[in-house]
Structure 1
Amino acid sequence: MNSIICGVDVSKDWLDAQVRPAGVFERFGNDADGIGALAALCRAHGVALVVMEASGGYERSAFLLLWELGVACALANALSVRRFAEAMGFLEKTDRIDAGIIAHYAAVKAIAPTPPPQAAQLRLSSLVARLSQVTADLTVQKQRRHAARDAETRDSLDEVIALLVRQSRRLEGEIASLIDDDPLWGRLDAAFRSVKGVASRTVARLMAELPEIGQVSNKAIAKLSGLAPIANDSGKRNGHRPVRGGRSGPRSILFLVAHIAARYDPHLSSFQQRLQSAGKPKMVIRIALARKLLVILNAKARDARMEFVNAT
């Protein structure tokens, strides 16, 4: 367990930091100068770990720059921190209180540093996120085009759609080049696409949003994706085991792809038929198929990583 921890409450403009157990509190700007000053505070107080919540991307600059300045950092789940605060009797919520709670939570949880991703991983994540945005915008514009009744509106929408299509193709090309240029990613790409129904966009989403694939157990990867049943038993009662939490991005793409892959892959197809014959609800079948596909992909990624290590 880290003896001295700095909890940081992150907002768009500010970094509110509290050092535990000293109780020192300071506010810094969420910019390069402020992050540098935060690093100096941590060095002055012998901080072993800085912990901050994932805050919709506002924490990214501080997280990466602190690592560059030699200060170890970790990210905490915001919902877990909030529930911890309530369990400890803190119903109030201010930036100062939140910073202290984050530090306390990290100490109790014995949170370990979270190494920053490599530059290529960051770029892949950014490209995939932007492609998802462009795809969503394209869907909206096409729906508006379909509903438009006058020629002037349709012409305007056609211009926007053409621009989005060009951006989509450019992003797809950059993502494909990035994956092809990395020997390990190239192997993972080939391994994933050996499953019929798994296309390039699925591969990119998994690599960007689930980089742990092939490096953790099947149970762990299912939990990361929110596809693991959560125990709900008490005494003699065996309750319904729901799936919840996890990363929504990989889960949503796995739901879609598993349904397609089940048409072609004999293992997935027979698995689906067994569940249907057993009278399982549609949603249960959908979740089970997605988890089954994820386990298959995790095994293929594990083999691909092993082959890469042996080859190098």
Structure 2
Amino acid sequence: MIVGIDISKKWFDAAWQVDGQGRHQRFEYTDEDIGQLLAQTPEAAHYVMEATGTYHARLALRLHESGRRVSVVNPLVIKRFSQMQLSRVKSDRADAELIRRYGEQQPLSPWAPATDEVLELQQAHGWLNDLIGERTRLLNRREAHAHHAKPNAFVISQMAAQLQQLDGQIKTCERHLEVMVKKSFTELFERLLTIPSIGAKTAIELIIVTDGFRRFEDVKALCAYIGVSPTTFRSGSSVNGKGGIAKLGQGRMRQLLYLCSWTAKTCNPACRALYARLKALGKPPKVINVAIAHKLLRQAFAVATTNAPFSTEYA
């Protein structure tokens, strides 16, 4: 039995079938109502839900701790499934039923909670991203304010004070993440640093977003998750679009790898050879740097999964 669950902040809707008859019920997002869901559905049921920020985490963990099978699906996958079904209704009840039908028709991967160390890293990492985003917005506002005919001195001083505060918070958060990563992933962190052009920030980011490289079984899945997989846009004789990369994943991770590519093309032997080959083919600099970033990610996956430091012989 598949139980489709659509989660909101204060409640969740569940849809399942009993003897071919559809069942639907709304539960308050409380421990008591989660217990009611467990009581009304059999132990062999498979619960499917979307990854809705942090709202799905408590329900998924409670179901997992109760010995139930749980799958957490990317919301974009459910959206595309809805479009494929030509769905015209959008409601909590309809979404729960849609997720149930998806679970019946598509293969599901089991969900398991991360360790306490990884959860702490992920939360601190999310806070760091929020701080960086806020600093970027403040810098944009400061630049726009400078274009006023008579920029206000008070506003300028307030922006400078806030920027100084954000810079301090970002540095503190980065130091906290580095200490935690060195404590929980000491050997992996040191191996990643053996890759020429991979620095501490990039190594820490790689470890956090990949859960210590335990989230992926092959490098293609990792490249797709980060968003550096090449794309093709061609069909027949009339459609011959420009290719690129599938930017569906981790934007900050792509940014760090792209920055690493600038030094990798001179200090990393495999990347240097790739740079020379693509430049000889007349590829634009941006395309070459993206290809080098892809190469660096593959090297990081190899170093992490083989438990061996970087080697030019196998790079």
Paired AA for residue 163 in structure 2: I
Give the 3-state SS of the residue equivalent to 2:87 in structure 1: coil
Deviation string 1:78-131 (CA, Å, 9 cap, x unpaired) is 222222233334332222121111111112112031111111111111111111
Please tell me whether residue 11 in structure 1 is matched to residue 13 in structure 2.
no
**Correspondence 1:45-194 to 2 at 5 A:** 45-145=42-142, 147=145, 149-182=151-184, 185-194=185-194
Partner residue of 1:196? 196
Partner residue of 1:274? 277
Partner residue of 1:309? none
Shift of the 181–280 alpha-carbon distance from structure 1 to 2, 3 Å rule, reads: same
Paired with 1:8 and 1:30, the residues of 2 have a C-alpha distance of 12
Shift of the 143–54 alpha-carbon distance from structure 1 to 2, 3 Å rule, reads: same
Q: Once the 2 structures are TM-superposed, how far is the Cα of residue 140 of structure 1 from its aligned partner?
A: 3.2
Q: Once the 2 structures are TM-superposed, how far is the Cα of residue 5 of structure 1 from its aligned partner?
A: 1.1
Partner residue of 2:256? 253
Q: Compare 116-125 and 156-165 and name the one that shifted more.
A: 156-165
Paired with 1:258 and 1:154, the residues of 2 have a C-alpha distance of 36
Q: Once the 2 structures are TM-superposed, how far is the Cα of residue 18 of structure 1 from its aligned partner?
A: 0.5
Residues 6 and 47 in structure 1, CA contact (< 8 A), matched pair in contact too: no
Give the 3-state SS of the residue equivalent to 1:194 in structure 2: coil
Q: Compare 110-119 and 235-244 and name the one that shifted more.
A: 235-244
Partner residue of 1:223? 224
Paired with 2:43 and 2:65, the residues of 1 have a C-alpha distance of 17
Residues 261 and 290 in structure 2, CA contact (< 8 A), matched pair in contact too: no
Q: Once the 2 structures are TM-superposed, how far is the Cα of residue 239 of structure 1 from its aligned partner?
A: 6.2
Partner residue of 2:209? 209
Deviation string 1:11-55 (CA, Å, 9 cap, x unpaired) is 22221111145522111123444433333333xx34431111122
Paired with 2:200 and 2:88, the residues of 1 have a C-alpha distance of 46
Q: Compare 185-194 and 296-305 and name the one that shifted more.
A: 296-305
Give the 3-state SS of the residue equivalent to 1:27 in structure 2: strand
Deviation string 1:174-226 (CA, Å, 9 cap, x unpaired) is 212211222xx111111112223322222222122122637522223222222
TM-score w.r.t. the length of structure 2 is: 0.82
Q: Tell me how many residue pairs correspond in the alignment.
A: 299
Residues 14 and 28 in structure 1, CA contact (< 8 A), matched pair in contact too: yes
Residues 188 and 305 in structure 1, CA contact (< 8 A), matched pair in contact too: no
> What is the root-mean-square deviation in Å for CA atoms of aligned residues?
2.9
Give the 3-state SS of the residue equivalent to 1:59 in structure 2: helix
Paired AA for residue 48 in structure 2: V
Partner residue of 2:296? 293
Partner residue of 2:313? none
Paired with 1:143 and 1:226, the residues of 2 have a C-alpha distance of 26
Residues 6 and 49 in structure 2, CA contact (< 8 A), matched pair in contact too: yes
**Runs (4+) off by over 4 Å:** 142-148, 230-242
Shift of the 202–88 alpha-carbon distance from structure 1 to 2, 3 Å rule, reads: same
Q: Identical aligned pairs, as a percentage?
A: 26
Shift of the 295–40 alpha-carbon distance from structure 1 to 2, 3 Å rule, reads: same
Residues 141 and 157 in structure 1, CA contact (< 8 A), matched pair in contact too: yes
Unaligned runs of 5+ in 2: 310-315
Paired with 1:58 and 1:268, the residues of 2 have a C-alpha distance of 41
Q: Once the 2 structures are TM-superposed, how far is the Cα of residue 162 of structure 1 from its aligned partner?
A: 3.0
Paired with 2:21 and 2:183, the residues of 1 have a C-alpha distance of 48
TM-score w.r.t. the length of structure 1 is: 0.83
Q: Compare 103-112 and 27-36 and name the one that shifted more.
A: 27-36
Shift of the 34–167 alpha-carbon distance from structure 1 to 2, 3 Å rule, reads: farther
Paired with 1:279 and 1:200, the residues of 2 have a C-alpha distance of 33
Paired with 1:130 and 1:27, the residues of 2 have a C-alpha distance of 32
Paired AA for residue 130 in structure 1: W
Paired AA for residue 171 in structure 1: C
Unaligned runs of 5+ in 1: 307-312
Give the 3-state SS of the residue equivalent to 1:293 in structure 2: helix
Q: Once the 2 structures are TM-superposed, how far is the Cα of residue 235 of structure 1 from its aligned partner?
A: 7.6
Paired with 1:243 and 1:153, the residues of 2 have a C-alpha distance of 41
